[in-house]
Structure 1
Amino acid sequence: MEAVCRRATIEDVDTLYLLIEGYARKGIMLPRSRETLSRQIDTFVVAEVEQEIVGCGSLCRLGSELVEIRSLGMSDGYKGLGIGSKLVDRLIEEAKSQRIPKVMALTYEARFFQKNGFEIVDKDIFPEKVWTDCVNCPKQECCDEIAVLKILN
């Protein structure tokens, strides 16, 4: 089973919406509307197996030196196969191409990110994230996500 990562296209919006919504219902990912996905489609990459989208992730610029990996998810049955790491690699390549030296994520799966070269850090070092997204999050005062960071060479 070979996964291929590619940039998302506007035709992928409905599939992305359903994939992200599944995580959002479990309270482990922020929901994204179809309209938001359409506007931000150029920030997304998808993983396909036999022309079926089985995973996604996006890169959100938080400043001149920092981007966030967000909306990283896999369809049931495709976790643990290395596809998530391929998506992270693709997003890191995109950050490098934009000359952005730091990539962060907020996650419940810190071990996954550590396997991909990230280190656990204090969330407070990301004021860009706090003022961009956290200010609107229902978990703002009791955030249980773990911050991870990778410095690119």
Structure 2
Amino acid sequence: MEVRKASSSDVESMQKLIQQFADIGLMLPRTIKSLCEHLQCFTVAVENDKVIGVAGLHVLWKDLAEIRSLAVDPDLHGRGVGRKIVEQLLQEAEKLGIAQVLSLTYQTQFFEKLDFHVVRKESLPHKVWKDCIYCNKFYHCDEVAMVYYTHHYDGFQAAKEA
């Protein structure tokens, strides 16, 4: 399995993978147009020339980024595909000097294993919610907000020890 930045030839496969989870209400759908416009944000896992996983790192502010649209082929869950994608995105955030990486998720155990911590949604800046208005769960969101603190975070030690 190779984990790399997405290319334009990956877009249709990425969209189909994401749509599987959007169809059952686990994430927001992404259009081909949206994926193309934000292609530079996405990382894919590829095996035998097939996209088997995808996620994007979207910078929201100088100290905050979000992991979005994490989707792994359901037949390959438990093989570490998602972990490898997220680890690569966290390295990317570190290189960019981003202090905190956010995920709005239902997969809390997965993200806890990667050292993300649950935070109150109300503690997040409003800019985080700009895409949420397109979600049918906007007024009754049941996703959990989790944050990973990079070494660029001012309260790094306190956050890691809490």
**For this structure pair, what is the TM-score category when the shorter chain's length is used for normalisation?**
over 0.9
Superposition map of 1:114-153 within 5 A: 114-127=112-125, 128-130=127-129, 132-153=130-151
Match of 1:35 in 2: 33
Match of 1:50 in 2: 48
Match of 1:12 in 2: 10
Structure 2: distance between partners of 1:28 and 1:142:
14
Displacement, 1:69?
0.2
State the one-letter code of the partner of 1:126.
L
What CA deviation, in whole Å up to 9, does each residue of 1:27-77 have, x standing for no partner? 111011101111111100000122211000001111110000000010121
Normalised TM-score (structure 1): 0.94
Percent of aligned pairs with the same amino acid: 35
Number of residue pairs matched? 150
Among 76, 79, 90, the alignment partner of 2:77 is 79
What CA deviation, in whole Å up to 9, does each residue of 1:115-147 have, x standing for no partner? 0110111111212212x2223332111000011
Structure 2: distance between partners of 1:66 and 1:125:
13
**Larger displacement relative to structure 2 (43-52 or 7-16):** 43-52
What CA deviation, in whole Å up to 9, does each residue of 1:7-35 have, x standing for no partner? 00011110011001111100111011101
Structure 2: distance between partners of 1:49 and 1:10:
17
Normalised TM-score (structure 2): 0.89
Match of 2:157 in 1: none
SS in 2 for 1:59: strand
SS in 1 for 2:103: strand
State the one-letter code of the partner of 2:89.
L
Structure 1: distance between partners of 2:120 and 2:2:
33
Displacement, 1:82?
0.9
SS in 2 for 1:84: helix
Structure 2: distance between partners of 1:124 and 1:68:
16
> What's the RMSD between the two structures over aligned residues?
1.0
Structure 2: distance between partners of 1:35 and 1:96:
28
Unpaired runs of 5+ residues, structure 1, are: none
Structure 2: distance between partners of 1:51 and 1:101:
34
Write out the 4+ residue segments of structure 1 that deviate beyond 4 Å after TM superposition: none
